[in-house]
A = this chain, B = another copy of it.
Amino acid sequence: MPNLDFTKEYFTMKESDAIEYAKTVLNFFDEDAVLTCKEIGDGNLNYVFRVVDEKNNKSVIIKQAGPVARISDDFKLSPDRNRIESEILKLQYSLASGLVPQVYKYDSVMNCCTMEDLSDHVILRTALLNHNKFPMLADHITTYMVNTLLLTTDVVMGHKEKKELVKSFINPELCEITEDLVYTEPFFNCERNDIFEPTKPLAEELLWKDNKFLLETAKLKFEFMSNAQSLIHGDLHSGSIFVKEDSTKVIDPEFAFYGPAGYDVGNVVAHFIFAMVNAEATMEEGAEKENYLAWVKESIKNTIDMFKDKFFKLWSEKATERVAKYEGFDEYYLNNILRDTAAVAGLELCRRILGIAHVKDVTTIEDTEKRASAEKFCLVYGKELVMNREAMLDGKSYLDLIEKCKR
Contacts and interface: CB of A to CB of B under 8 A. Distances in A.
A172 B164 contact: yes
A159 B184 contact: no
Given A167-B167, A170-B167, A328 B215 contact: yes
Contacts of A217: 323, 326
A374 B172 CA distance: 48
Nearest to A155: B222
A329 B187 CA distance: 15
Interface string A154-172: 1000011001101100111
A175 interface: yes
A159 B225 contact: yes
**Residues of A in contact with B, size category:** 35 or more
Interface string A201-224: 000000000010011011101100
Contact of A332 (B215, B227, B332): B215
A183 interface: yes
A327 interface: yes
Q: Chain A at the B interface: mostly helix, strand, loop or mixed?
A: helix
Nearest to A163: B172
Contacts of A160: 172-173, 176
A227 B225 contact: no
A333 B223 CA distance: 11
A172 B158 CA distance: 10
B163 A211 contact: no
Contacts of A326: 211, 214-215, 217-218
Given A164-B172, A166-B170, A329 B218 contact: yes
Interface string A222-249: 1001111100000000000000000000
A55 B217 CA distance: 63
Contacts of A211: 326-328
A179 interface: yes
A404 interface: no
Contacts of A323: 183-184, 187, 214, 217-218, 221
Contact of A154 (B167, B225, B324): B225
The 6 A-B residue pairs whose C-beta atoms are closest, nearest first, are A218-B323, A160-B172, A163-B172, A167-B170, A218-B326, A218-B329
Interface of A: 154, 159-160, 163-164, 166-167, 170-173, 175-176, 179, 183-184, 187, 211, 214-215, 217-219, 221-222, 225-229, 322-324, 326-329, 332-333
